[in-house]
A = this chain, B = another copy of it.
Amino acid sequence: MSAIRVVSVGLGPIGVSVAKQLVERPAFTIVGAVDIDPLKRDLDLGDLIGVTPSRALKRGSARRLGVKVGADAPTIIKATKPDVVVLCTSSSIKGVMPQLETILRTRTPIVSTTEELSYPGYTHPRQARQIDAWARKARVAVLSTGVNPGFAMDALPIALTAVCERVDHISVQRVQDARIRRLPFQQKIGAGLTTKQFQRRVEDGSVRHVGLTESIAMIADAVGWNLSRITDDIQPKLATVTISGEFLAVDPGYVCGIVQDGIGYHGRTPVITLHMEAYLGAPESYDAVQIEGHPNLSMKIAGGIHGDVATASIVVNSISKVLGAAPGLHTMRDLPLPSYFGGSLTSGS
């Protein structure tokens, strides 16, 4: 089987993490890379992502992948004719619309990390229909995924309902010690801000986890519930002692992270409750799901699912599913069972 040829668009922390995995797994070859940052322009991708792929070594080049970072996605895509584009540029569906349109004009399937695109039918129905139409016209599939939204607070609890005779309530908790996460994530959760600064950032939308509403909508559709409304509430978590991480130190009284609650209501009854805590110094990271119904189910992943690694992984692992899917906009709900893909036991370990 020949390797799947990929163009990476967007080389921020997640895009770099995805590109590293693509380089290291035998099933893939990166044939092009794109970023808008002029400082990254014309760099060799291997230098940018800091990997020494065995295949590059074999070609006698220590780190060079032979892929230069370009500025214009359609030019690179037309020149390299990849099997798929991985798009890691923005959380905002409106932000990626022009990129999606341009890429889909080249008739290339897309796997994206855009949180709002993970399940856009509820929050952005017009954009969802438009993207679906572009994808169908191009006869290719589009998916947005990640660990959250995309897995921990939607696909995983949905899968657990499959063994239930009756489901009355679904709750999910994701608690993460943000000290192990990258700096942009720590900034996204407001670490180091005053309460007042935090509130301003919440109001302008720069401090928040994007995806709770999308996850709730996905769960509700999966189990066949008509929700009356979905709420998404953000609160600061304040440090009570000085917390020091690799990138930041936070003094007592300052914000060390975020507590976010998404609730889906059936009438006035909360039937889906998603609770997220991400802050520097959380004593225990974990993911947990409780399903009330028959039978009741209580699942816990001790230590949690690491956000950055897991998002890059599920993007890479989903590529083969997207290549096998019917044309159109897909979500984790309608694609085949998620699974690892593209490594090998001998070379991987």
Task: Write the residues of chain A forming the contact surface with B, with a CB cutoff of 8 angstroms.
Answer: 21, 147, 151-152, 155-156, 158-168, 222-225, 266, 271, 293-303, 305-306, 309-310, 312-314, 316-318, 332-345, 348-349
Contacts and interface: CB of A to CB of B under 8 A. Distances in A.
Given A299-B301, A300-B299, A337-B334, A349 B166 contact: yes
A158 B339 contact: yes
Copies in the complex: 2
Contacts of A165: 21, 309, 312-313, 316
B156 A313 contact: no
Contacts of A296: 303
A337 B333 contact: yes
A8 to B, nearest CB: 16
A168 B349 contact: yes
Contacts of A314: 162-163
A56 B332 CA distance: 38
A165 B19 CA distance: 12
**What are the 4 A-B residue pairs with the smallest beta carbon separation, nearest first?**
A162-B338, A161-B340, A163-B310, A222-B339
Contacts of A303: 296, 298
18 contacts: A156-B159, A156-B160, A161-B317, A162-B340, A164-B340, A166-B348, A166-B349, A222-B340, A224-B340, A224-B343, A266-B345, A299-B301, A333-B336, A333-B337, A334-B336, A334-B337, A335-B337, A337-B338
Nearest to A221: B339
Nearest to A345: B266
Contact of A310 (B266, B295, B309): B295
B336 A335 contact: yes
